[in-house]
Amino acid sequence: MHRSLRTSLSGLPRHSRSLVLSRGAHKEVKFSNEGRAAMLKGVDILAKAVEEYGVTVARAISLKDKFENLGARLVQDVASKTNETAGDGTTTATVLARAIYSEGNVAAGCNPMDLRRGAQKAVDKVIEFLETNKRVITTSEEIAQVATISANGDAHIGQLIANAMEKVGKEGVITVKEGKTIDDEIEITEGKPSMRFDRGYISPYFITDVKTQKTEFEKPLVLLSEKKISALQDILPALEIAAQSRRPLLIIAEDVDGEALAACILNKLRGQLSVCAVKAPGFGDNRKSILGDLAILTGGTVFSDDLDVKLEHVTADMLGSSGSITVTKEDTIFLNGAGSKDGIAARCEQIRSVLNDSTTSEFDKTKLQERLAKLSGGVAVIKVGGSSEVEVGEKKDRYDDALNATRAAVEEGIVPGGGVTLLKASLALTPESVPAANFDQSLGVSAIKNALQRPARTIVENAGEEGSEVVGQILERYGDKFTWGYDAAQGEFTDMIARGIVDPFKVVRTVLWDNGVARLLATSEACIIEAPEEKAPTGPGGMGGIEAMGGLGGF
């Protein structure tokens, strides 16, 4: 603790202690059960809001009590992180966080490190169990099922996304835009150079659309570099070219930092130039190859050690271009690159020849297949229609959620939905499968086991049924059948996957990993918040004294 810190702890009850910094910033502290109870109340309020009104409303919630708000904000962060990683699962993440915190809070008072170790062992075992039971999806019908569930049961949205993915392939580019008609439309474009890769903007300052958290450019210039860009003189010529041509600039490099990054952000914030920096995808030789693919796609040049020209001597014809570019926190999408079709076809043929070489390792073949799919895949643009701007915006959000969930499902497979997966996973947590070193660790395992049953119980209760009774029947009658659960909409027990009630495995896995915050909350021994500063008393009659009036010097 800093030496200048003065405390007013002496003589005060433990629960009401406060800290006062020498600069005058007050900190209020609550210890042990009182602090955890306050945060738990905030978690409960947020979780109920999610269950009743959805995640969008819950994100806007800010509680008056700062200790309660602390709990609510931490769970909001869990849900946001899950959404950023997997594109879905925010409701499950919130409900599970609430359950883990509640269960862990009961065990509070034990050794917090052992409690956390036990909980982590349980999570590791659950993920291992789910890895062996997930199902890979291959058919268009399965893809439509996943998309439909994530679109709040809208089969039309699910089918449209399945059609788009079937046309352009798993690595193809699918984007969602606002249409100009009442009906939803899908536009499939083949033969136009497009690509998507898993790297997003380096800094959120580059965002152009705050609502969607995206950077969107029309006809941008593209600078490609194998090396890290730090010096201002390296980036300045490219910035000047973009400014003179009045076009946005996308920079893709090993990294962009220091003066170079500061210059980009400053130009963006001042409105002098639309610019965005993205780290190059891949590592080592694979990164070099992908940058080469991007150069072919955009008609640009990759600045590397092999090139005699340095970045500070860049010319306009060395910069690539694209019809449009969309950058999120997680990925970057090129549409209609300026590269020639013949050049792209030749690049694809070159990749195929290396693929067919018997000396190419399996690892390299996997990377080559990914590159080939990205270069040769088509483009699908889903144009969302509607009778009003509000309707189009709401539908577009559902399309985005469904598309994210579908990509996650195609990437890592699916598991039964309706909370059944976590419920069945709780059966895998036995003393034999998860040995605990001591009693406190066993409490950590039990906390996770009990929490895993909460999402299924919540879904059943929201449908007007008795949650504990239905969950008990699932475990007793169908415990050995991984895919069997309860269809709350129809009120019957069924094979969830056969019924089309599924979740992407990536979403469930991410929910489990991201709930480490809830495990941390459950073992917190102190909560610290900034206390409101006490205002100086005003003069008689509420008029304020001379100092409050700013003095009389102006007269």
Q: Which CATH class is domain 195-339?
A: alpha beta
Nearest to 365 by CA among 377, 352, 376, 347: 352
- Domain residue ranges of the chain, discontinuous segments joined by +: 31-133+417-530, 141-185+392-412, 195-339
Q: What integer pLDDT is reported at residue 104 of this predicted model? A: 66
Chunked into runs of 10 residues, the chain (555 residues) has average pLDDT values of: 37 43 61 81 84 68 88 81 72 82 68 84 93 90 86 89 84 82 84 82 94 92 94 93 95 95 94 94 89 94 83 92 92 89 89 84 82 77 90 88 86 91 95 92 90 91 90 93 93 92 88 73 74 58 43 37
Q: What integer pLDDT is reported at residue 73 of this predicted model? A: 86
Q: What integer pLDDT is reported at residue 210 of this predicted model? A: 87
* Tokens 């409701």, residue located: 91
Q: What is the CATH number of domain 141-185+392-412?
A: 3.30.260.10
Q: Fold for 31-133+417-530, please state it.
A: GROEL; domain 1 (1.10.560)
Nearest to 154 by CA among 166, 163, 146, 164: 146
Taking a C-beta distance cutoff of 8 angstroms, is the pair 502, 416 a contact?
Answer: yes
Q: What integer pLDDT is reported at residue 27 of this predicted model? A: 76
Map residue 4 onto helix, strand or coil. Answer: coil
In residues, how long is the chain? 555
From its phi and psi, is residue 453 left (phi > 0), alpha (psi between -120 and 50) or beta? Answer: alpha
